[in-house]
Amino acid sequence: MSSVYDNYELVIGLEIHAQILTRTKAFSSDPAEYGALPNHNVSTISLGHPGTLPKHNEAAIAKAITLGLACHSEIRKENQYARKNYFYADLPKGYQITQDKTPICSGGYVRVKFIDESTKDIELTRIHMEEDSGKSIHDLDLHNSLIDYNRAGTPLVEIVTEPVIRSGEEAGLFVTEIRKLVRYLDICDGNMEEGSLRCDANISVRLKGATEFGTKVEVKNMNSISNVRKAIEFETTRQIDAIENGETIVQETRSYDALKGNTFSMRAKELVNDYRYFPEPDLPPLIVTEETIQQLKESMPKLPEELFENFRNEYGLNAYDAGVLTETKELADLYLGITEHTENYKAAANWVMGVIKAWLNKEALDVDDFHVPPSRIGALISLVDEGKVSNAIAEQRIFPALLDEPDKEPLQIAQELNVIQSSDESFLEELADEAIAAFPDKVEAYKNGKTGLLGLFMGELMKKSRGKADPKVASEILKRKLEG
């Protein structure tokens, strides 16, 4: 049954602000790290005291260019900063230094991948540099708003897409991809909760086949990827319902309320600011040379998309494994490290995605904190492959020991734990006899065709061997004895 919603097409453009990870602020030498006490990362410059002037932060510029290169954008050689003028408590100078007519990157695209492995290139309008404002805090004091200027002047890049996104799912995938990219490139920590990565969406709907855009509504304050999806889904329904009820959509800014799962109006268009952009006279044009661009290109790490293809084609991993392992640069690097010490790429992938990740999760550690050298994990995989230990023993006994003594060779640990697998037939025959003797009544049942009982005997045998029995050889011996 087709619903009225199917008659409409959704048009979304996203604006993503990412705080650039630099030691110092965009236009001063104040420290830029997150988490300092309120109003401690400030100076006369970031507070906009009379007579202070901005200066360029080369590191932030390099990172903005790198992001542009990763997004296949064109890098502008002559950049001009602009002032965006408006009054607000958290904007010390009464204007924000940004880029208006000459963004550092123009065009380009980011490829997103759907569950069915189909892809879509989301086109970018631009990426530009600007400074962040301070932070207004309205819920700490009953009578006053508090302002923390630590964030004021922190460098940002703003990534603006063309209105080419057609669903909440696409929007979510795009933000995921951008977050992955900025983390890979060490541009931004991508933390949406803390606000170092922020996403605003311009959303409109139109009847399918229409060539004109509908009236767009800007939605802010979606501080997670799932909220981006939910906000877009809510907003789509709201707009279509309104149109179907004969109402007109008002151009406005709305905020997403994560608790209620809806959006509400923040300001109507009659209050929209005229920002009076003009070239920032305190900063001379910034010239980017071809040489700089080449250097940045050469020093760029492999991007997730490229690694994904490598993992699939050269390492023979399936799409799921390759996807998980390229989620973060750290995980991909860990995997690549281990594959230098084993050719069992699939086993290496299982180790990283299984035991290692589980342990890190349990300990609440980052991938970077994994302290066992990749060569040890490689050696452990080899022990299993050579039949010296079972996979279960490797995971449950040797790995925990390795965590305590990462400098020890896995083979030595196996010997010390006395878990080297036995394929000695006489020893295994003895154990098989004992296992069969433990369940005399089940022997008859097995012989009468309940071959599934083999597992019971294997379990008993393995228990008696304390895990040292080579399961393959042991099961053959058991079968022979039971059937004989």
Partner 1 sequence: METLSLSSLQEQVKSGSTDCRQVVSRFLRRIEEKKHLNAFLEVYDQEALDRADEITEKLRAGTAGPLGGLVIGLKDNICYAGHHVSASSRILEGFESLYNATVTQRLLDADAIIIGRLNCDEFAMGASNENSAYGPVLNDADNTKVPGGSSGGSAVAVQAGLCMATLGSDTGGSIRQPSSFTGTFGMKPTYGRVSRYGLLAYASSFDQIGPITNNVDEMAAILEVISGDDGMDATVSDKAVPKYSQMTASEGSRNIAYIRDCIESEGIDPDVKAHTLKMVEKLRAEGHTVEAVDFPFLDFMVPCYYVLTTAEASSNLSRYSGLMYGYRSKDAHDLESTFKLSRSEAFGEEVQRRIMTGTFVLSSDHYDAYYTKAQKVRRVIKDRTAELLNKYDFILLPTTPTPAFSLDEKADDPIAMYLADIFTVQAPLAGVPAISIPTGTHSSGLPFGIQLMANSFEEAQLLSFSKYVYELGTK
Binding site residues, partner 1, CB under 8 A: 44, 47-56, 83, 85, 87-89, 92-95, 145, 274, 276-278, 281-284
**In this complex, which beta carbon is closest to partner 1, that of residue 30 or of residue 321?**
30
**Would the CA dihedral through 218, 223, 228, 232 be positive or negative?**
negative
The total of other beta-carbon atoms located within 10 Å of residue 295's CB is: 13
3-class secondary-structure state, position 140: coil
Shortest gap between Cβ of 55 and partner 1 (angstroms)? 5
Distance of closest approach, residue 39 Cβ to partner 1, in angstroms: 11
DSSP code for 369: G
DSSP state, 370? -
Nearest residue (CB) to partner 1, 42 versus 372: 42
Pick 95 or 345: Cβ nearer partner 1: 95
* 385: nearest Cα among 348, 337, 340: 348
In the complex with partner 1, which residue's Cβ is closer, 56 or 357?
56
Q: Least distance in Å: CB of 53 to partner 1?
A: 5
154: which 2 tokens?
């922190």
Nearest distance in Å: CB 262, partner 1? 27
For residue 352, which amino acid is it?
V
Residue 50 beta carbon to partner 1: minimum distance, rounded to whole angstroms: 5
Tokens at residue 33, please? 């790290």
Residue pair 162/13 in contact by the 8 Å Cβ criterion: yes
Tell me which residue of 238, 213, 115, 117 sits closest to 172, measured CA to CA: 115
Minimum Å distance from CB 56 to partner 1?
6
Q: Which is nearer to partner 1, 35 or 50 (CB)?
A: 50
CB atoms within 10 A of CB 256: 23
C-beta of 51 vs 246, nearer to partner 1: 51
Give the tokens for residue 23. 């030691």
Contact of 221 with 253, CB cutoff 8 Å? no
Output 11 or 91, the one with its CB closest to partner 1. Answer: 91
Residue that is written with structure tokens 């302002």 in the block: 147
How far is the C-alpha of 353 from the C-alpha of 356, rounded, in Å? Answer: 7
CB of 279 to partner 1, least distance (A): 8
DSSP H helices in 140-260: 168-184, 225-244
Select 83 or 206, whichever has its Cβ closest to partner 1.
83
What is the rounded CA–CA span in Å between residue 58 and residue 469?
Answer: 62
CB of 90 to partner 1, least distance (A): 10
